[in-house]
Amino acid sequence: MSTSSETLAGNPGTFSFENTNRLSSTAEGLGRDGARYGRTGIIHTPHGDIRTPAFIPVATQAAMKAVLPEQMRDLGAQALLSNAFHLFERPGEEVLDEAGGLGKFMGWDGPTFTDSGGFQVLSLGAGFKKTLAMDVTGMKSDDVIAEGKERLAFVDEDGVTFKSPLNGNEHRFSAEISMGIQHKIGADIMFAFDELTTLMNTRGYQERSVERTFRWAKRCVAEHQRLTAERAGKPYQALYGVVQGANYEDLRRRAAGQIASLDFDGVGIGGAIEKRLLGQTCAWICDEMPESRPRHVLGIAAVDDIFAGVENGGDTFDCVSPARCGRNGAVFTRDGRWNIKRTQFRHDYTPIEADCSCYACQHYSRAYICHLLHAHEFNGFTLATIHNEHFFVRLLDEIRASIDGGYFDEYKRETLARFYANGSRG
C-alpha cells in the first residue's frame, strides 16, 4: 500500500495520521471481503510521533508505579496514558493546567493520552475491574453488581453521578465536564465520554447505551471544539470517539458508523468484549470506519489478543496488566508468563530472559528479583515492571517490523507457538 498522509478534520495541523503499510486481504480475513486491517503508520502529535502499532503503558495517576519517566523512555515507550478520573480526584485538573499540562507535570517529554472516565462508570457502578473475557454464562441483568461491591455510580441521560472511592464525596461527570477536565489535563490524545456496559447487560440496555453514548459523543465534539477555540494558545489536543456495543455485530457496526459521522480525530475500540470475539469485533468496527483515523484498542495486553487486535486494525493498545502483574511477581517472556517468586528461582542467577535488553535483565538476576519481591522491596516492583513493559513495547515493535517486512503471518505463528507452548497464560 502506498504511503498516504492526511490531516484530520478539525485539526489545525499539529495532529495527523500517516498510514504506511497494510496487511493483504486473505480468505480467512475477518473484515469485509476478507480484509485484514492491520497496518503500520505514524501518529504525529505536538509532543512527538508514535510509530504504530504501538503499546502505550499506563501511568494512571501521572506516574508509572515504581518506575520513573526516563526509565520508561529508556525501555522504548513512545507515549504514556493517564486516567482523567483519577487526576480529577487528585491533584485536580487545575494543578496540571497550571503546570503546563500532563507531560510537563510528570517530566515526560513525549506524547500523552487520557481516557475519559467511562471505565470508572462501570467499575464504580457494577464493580467489575476486568471486562474482557468475562464469564457471563446464563447471566443477563441490568442491575448486576460484582460480589461484595456497593454501587457508587448512577447513569442518567445527562451524565453520571458517583461517590468518590477516596472520601465518599458526590461528584458529577458529563460529556462537557469530561472535556473540560481533559482539556486542562492537557494530553495530546483524549477520549470522548462514553458509557461502558458489561456483557451481562441485556440486549435492550446495550441498545439504549449505544444511543446514549452517541448523544454524549456529539456533545463531546461540540464542547471540544469550543474549548479548542477558547484555549487557542495551547497545543492542539486530538479527540477520539469510543465505539461500544458489547458482543453484538449490528450494534458495533451501528456505533462505528455513528462515531465515523462525527468530527473525531481517531477512534477508541472499547467496551466489554469476549476474548473469542476480539479480532472479529475490531474488524466489524474497521469495516465502518475511514482508513484515515488512528484506532486505539482500550485495555488489551494478552499476547494472543494483541495479535488479534493488530491483525484486525488496532494501531495503539494500552493496559495496566504488565505493571500490575510485575508487582505480583508474574513476568512475561518469549517462552510464556511465569511467576518469578517461585522457590525454584531463589538460586537462579541468570536474567529473567536471556536475550532481553531491558535494564532489569542486563543488570540483575532472577534470584535477586525473587528476593526483592518476597521482601516487598520497591526495587523489585521497579525491575519486574521495567521488564514487563519492555516485553510489550518490544512485542509491538517487532509486530510493526513484521508488517513492514512482509512476514507478519510467520512472526505471529512462531511467536504464539513459542509463548503458549506450555499452556502459559497471558
Binding residues for Zn(2+), as ranges, are 356, 358, 361, 387
Round to whole Å and give the CA distance between 258 and 252: 10
- The answer to whether 187 touches 168, Cβ cutoff 8 Å, is no
Query: The C-alpha cell of 295 is what?
Result: 484506532
Round to whole Å and give the CA distance between 193 and 110: 24
Element (H, E) at 211: helix 203-230
Q: Is 348 a catalytic residue?
A: no
Round to whole Å and give the CA distance between 8 and 143: 40
Q: Nearest-CA neighbor of 108 among 68, 57, 50?
A: 68
Q: Nearest-CA neighbor of 269 among 368, 344, 192, 350?
A: 192
Cα 138 vs. chain centroid, distance in angstroms? 29
- The answer to whether 338 touches 424, Cβ cutoff 8 Å, is yes
* Catalytic pick among 265, 305, 315, 318: 318
What are the backbone angles phi and psi of residue 98, rounded to the nearest 5°? Answer: -65, -35
Annotated binding site for substrate: 115-119, 194, 244, 271
Annotated binding site: 115-119, 194, 244, 271, 356, 358, 361, 387
For 309, the 3-state DSSP assignment is helix
Q: Is 115 a catalytic residue?
A: yes
User: Which DSSP letter does residue 330 get?
Assistant: E
- The answer to whether 56 touches 316, Cβ cutoff 8 Å, is yes
* Catalytic pick among 49, 109, 115, 142: 115
The catalytic residues are: 115, 318
